[in-house]
Chains A and B, each alone.
Chain A
Amino acid sequence: MRMIARRLFFYLVTAAVAISLDFLIPRLIPGNPVDAILSRMQGVTVTPAIIHSLDLQFGVGTNASLWSQYTHYWNNVLHGNLGVSSGNAFAPVTEVIRAALPYTLGLVGLATVISFLAGTAVGALVAWKRGSWLDNLLPAVTFFQAAPYFFLAFLAIDVFAITLGWFPSGLAHQSFDFPAWNWTYISDLLDHAVLPALTIVVASAAGWIVGMRNVMLTTMDEDYVLIAAAKGLRKSRVIWYAARNAILPSVSGFALAIGFIVSGSLLTEIVFSYPGLGTLLLQAVSNNDYELMQGLFLIITFAVLAANLIADFVYVFLDPRTRQEA
């Protein structure tokens, strides 16, 4: 468990850095943050009251020292106070995010797990059958690895929602008010989630396929795989032995990948008008809602750290070597 403790410490440091960045970026970027914000506000009558509130928020023209502003900011964050969202009738940022968070957690979480499982399985298969027609998958995989998530979302909507009409083209459910948890509602929810989830899976599986294939090719040359095959074990079992070991770098590489996947998924949400954090991020950008942007950065970072911690637990479960020292 020493590994988990070390990782936990690292995540706490990362969270502290994220909170500090959130505080420092408006103050460290050269120039006046309030002027920068005003430069983006076009078609809005800027009253002295607005300027004054922005001044207060970003510490412009205040007498308080940077340190006392900083401690004040920490105090707010620790009390769950991330400010108010000007684009949402000045509702608390935490509440605005709380309403959108379940959609993103459900969609991105599920899609990431599916993509990881499917991607590693396909990667193992491609490596095992090297030299067969499966190698022809790799150019296609390369393309999906390189294409922006949101472009794939455009294509998915155009083909599956508009031309074929199989799935709805956006939003998370038909009715805007929250009905009871009955089957009609759940199936409606799933129906709306299929296309965005599919987009995320197709876009992110490529990385897992390539990663797994590369490690699996190396693993297959190991002596224990040769012996397993020589003993006459069933082929599926030999693949299983090799894959079990080859999957470890993919799990430990999860931390590297999850940031990219989350970023891409948020953009996918925007194209699908899916009412999660990504759409909220776009809304914050177009409303110049800076406190919402900052709050979203914190919450998304915390969510990614939590996902990493889960991956660490899985790794400790999979690899006995990490448990030995305890």
Chain B
Amino acid sequence: MAVGIGTELEAGGAPAPGVVPAGAAGGRRRALRLPRSPKILAGLGLLTFFVLLSIIGPFVAPYSPDQIFANSPVPLPPSAAHWLGTTNLQQDVFSQLLAGGGDMLLVSFLAGVLATALSVVVGVTAGYLGGWADELLSMLANIFLVMPALPLLVILFGFLGKTGSNDLFLVGLIISVTGWAWGARVLRAQTLSMRNRDYIDSARIIGERRWRIIFTEILPNLTPIVASSFLFTVLYAVGTYTAMAFLGLVNPDWNWGGMLFYAQGANAELTGYWWWFIPPGLAVALLGTSLVMLNFGIDEFINPRLRAAGLTRRAEGRGRSGSGRPGGQRPARVRRVRRSQQFALTPVIRTMGRAPAAVGSGSEVLP
């Protein structure tokens, strides 16, 4: 059963209408077709770069991040010996940068997984059950959404003490507690809209059990939204972990927020030691950019109208120098509609014990 769910999740993500996948292998192949948009490709490339950097960074770093070099009262600018200069303690900035990604990525992905799991449980339960359960769970999610995370995290990490705040798993867990609500809200809304569709009704009439409907009928169709909320939470965790290290609440040795913590402590921005604070800040920003770009790609996948801009540009680029008159958009509009159907979310209808069959959203066919 567990294997079946896995393949269905992939199949639910990207099937084209009119093509019935032959089985699990077909679903897998189709899922691989997703990364075609330039945004997704660029985001994936950048993210892969940072993941690799974080894994091999500590091994290829020229020095240990803690190693203290020649005695100089001020940070030294970039040189052949220190590619990105040194800190005020004469530590190598480049080595700190290479060492600083691992813990952060680990914590962020952990927080992303935990928060996404929580948001799926809460969001889908609330959306599917409705009634009082929905009221309560929605209120819980909204409370966590409205409450500003930063001061709450400050208290949590403050009372956790030094040893607790250095425990990466605990840090990830706490960040996920403050970051799950957004995903839960979006998933609840989507589940709510799905609950009353015909194919769910028919599953209910057939007599499928509730958890089975949730796992095999609803969840597969939520895949793009789950993915998007996962990326969003990872982005949130990257920012939060950096902020907590910047405040000195989690161990700053070594991550990019911690480098900024030390740079701020030494007034690097006031004295023009740009080589000290720009590399870690830029690294966080670019890592975040890769996640946002991936998210944009998925957004365009969910809502094909957003992709219209790129298509229009291509269409107009051939004709004229795109001044963007409303009139100029009409031909592209026709194209857009045609494309959008190809990418529409398709419900996966699964007959008992047989391979999943994807059916076009416009024409739900009962098994």
What is A's interface to B at a CB cutoff of 8 Å?
A: 10-11, 13-14, 17-18, 21-22, 25-26, 29, 31, 33, 35-37, 39-40, 127-135, 142-143, 145-148, 150-151, 153-155, 157-158, 161-163, 169-170, 214, 217-218, 220-221, 229, 235, 238, 255-256, 258-260, 262-263, 266-267, 270-271, 281-282, 284-286, 288, 290, 293-294, 296-297, 300-301, 304-305, 308
The smallest beta-carbon distance between A29 and chain B, in angstroms, is: 5
CA distance A271 to B281 in the complex (A): 13
Contact of A148 among B147, B239, B269 (CB under 8 A): B239
Asked whether any CB of chain A lies closer than 8 Å to the CB of B289, the reply is yes
A296 close to B151 (CB less than 8 A): yes
B309 close to A13 (CB less than 8 A): no
A285 close to B142 (CB less than 8 A): no
Asked whether any CB of chain A lies closer than 8 Å to the CB of B60, the reply is no
**Which residues from chain A contact B159 at a C-beta distance below 8 Å?**
25-26, 29, 33, 36-37, 290
The smallest beta-carbon distance between B42 and chain A, in angstroms, is: 9
**Which residues from chain B contact A135 at a C-beta distance below 8 Å?**
309-310, 313
**Which residues from chain A contact B180 at a C-beta distance below 8 Å?**
none
Which residue of B146, B239, B329, B332 has the most chain A CB atoms within 10 A of its CB atom?
Answer: B146
A and B contact pairs by CB, cutoff 8 A, 5 listed: A29-B156, A131-B312, A148-B242, A162-B270, A263-B151
**Which residues from chain A contact B44 at a C-beta distance below 8 Å?**
none
Asked whether any CB of chain A lies closer than 8 Å to the CB of B80, the reply is no
CA distance A132 to B309 in the complex (A): 9
B148 close to A262 (CB less than 8 A): yes
**Which residues from chain B contact A148 at a C-beta distance below 8 Å?**
239, 242-243, 246, 281, 284-285, 288
Quick one: closest A residue to B243, CB to CB? A267
**Which residues from chain A contact B264 at a C-beta distance below 8 Å?**
150, 154, 270-271
CA distance A294 to B159 in the complex (A): 11
Quick one: closest A residue to B157, CB to CB? A285
With contacts A147-B284, A158-B272 known, is A132 near B324, CB below 8 A? yes
B289 close to A143 (CB less than 8 A): yes
A146 close to B288 (CB less than 8 A): yes
The smallest beta-carbon distance between B263 and chain A, in angstroms, is: 8
Which residue of B306, B323, B326 has the most chain A CB atoms within 10 A of its CB atom?
Answer: B326
B148 close to A36 (CB less than 8 A): no
A interface secondary structure, majority: helix
CA distance A10 to B321 in the complex (A): 52
CA distance A267 to B281 in the complex (A): 14
CA distance A214 to B269 in the complex (A): 36
What is B's interface to A at a CB cutoff of 8 Å?
A: 139, 142-143, 145-152, 154-156, 158-164, 182, 235, 239, 242-243, 246-249, 260, 263-264, 268-272, 274, 277-278, 281-282, 284-289, 291-293, 296, 299, 303, 305-306, 308-310, 312-313, 315-316, 322-324, 326, 328-329, 332-333
Quick one: closest B residue to A228, CB to CB? B326
CA distance A300 to B147 in the complex (A): 9
Contact of B326 among A21, A238, A271 (CB under 8 A): A238
List 14 other contacts, CB 8 Å, given A130-B308, A135-B310, A146-B286: A10-B142, A17-B147, A25-B155, A36-B161, A37-B159, A131-B328, A146-B235, A154-B277, A157-B269, A169-B269, A259-B148, A266-B150, A304-B147, A304-B148
**Which residues from chain A contact B306 at a C-beta distance below 8 Å?**
214, 217
CA distance A284 to B328 in the complex (A): 58
The 9 closest A-B pairs by CB, nearest first: A146-B288, A36-B161, A151-B281, A263-B150, A147-B285, A131-B312, A132-B324, A297-B151, A129-B324
Quick one: closest A residue to B326, CB to CB? A229
The smallest beta-carbon distance between B173 and chain A, in angstroms, is: 12
Contact of A297 among B154, B270, B328, B332 (CB under 8 A): B154
**Which residues from chain A contact B293 at a C-beta distance below 8 Å?**
142
A36 close to B272 (CB less than 8 A): no
**Which residues from chain B contact A150 at a C-beta distance below 8 Å?**
243, 246, 260, 264
With contacts A10-B142, A132-B324 known, is A151 near B284, CB below 8 A? yes
Contact of B269 among A22, A142, A158, A294 (CB under 8 A): A158
Quick one: closest B residue to A36, CB to CB? B161
B155 close to A293 (CB less than 8 A): yes
The smallest beta-carbon distance between B16 and chain A, in angstroms, is: 23
Which residue of B147, B274, B332 has the most chain A CB atoms within 10 A of its CB atom?
Answer: B147
A13 close to B143 (CB less than 8 A): yes
B288 close to A147 (CB less than 8 A): yes
CA distance A270 to B282 in the complex (A): 19
The smallest beta-carbon distance between A35 and chain B, in angstroms, is: 7
**Which residues from chain B contact A229 at a C-beta distance below 8 Å?**
326
**Which residues from chain A contact B316 at a C-beta distance below 8 Å?**
131
**Which residues from chain A contact B248 at a C-beta distance below 8 Å?**
285-286
Contact of A218 among B148, B278, B305, B322 (CB under 8 A): B305
With contacts A36-B160, A36-B161, A146-B289 known, is A217 near B305, CB below 8 A? yes
**Which residues from chain B contact A158 at a C-beta distance below 8 Å?**
269, 272, 274, 277
A13 close to B155 (CB less than 8 A): no
**Which residues from chain B contact A153 at a C-beta distance below 8 Å?**
269
B156 close to A18 (CB less than 8 A): no
A131 close to B313 (CB less than 8 A): yes
With contacts A131-B313, A285-B158 known, is A10 near B139, CB below 8 A? yes
A146 close to B285 (CB less than 8 A): yes
CA distance A91 to B271 in the complex (A): 34
A281 close to B151 (CB less than 8 A): yes
**Which residues from chain A contact B148 at a C-beta distance below 8 Å?**
258-259, 262-263, 300-301, 304
Contact of A13 among B139, B239, B285, B313 (CB under 8 A): B139
With contacts A25-B156, A131-B324, A263-B243 known, is A39 near B161, CB below 8 A? yes
CA distance A40 to B160 in the complex (A): 10
**Which residues from chain B contact A21 at a C-beta distance below 8 Å?**
152
A130 close to B150 (CB less than 8 A): no
**Which residues from chain A contact B285 at a C-beta distance below 8 Å?**
143, 146-148, 151
**Which residues from chain A contact B333 at a C-beta distance below 8 Å?**
221
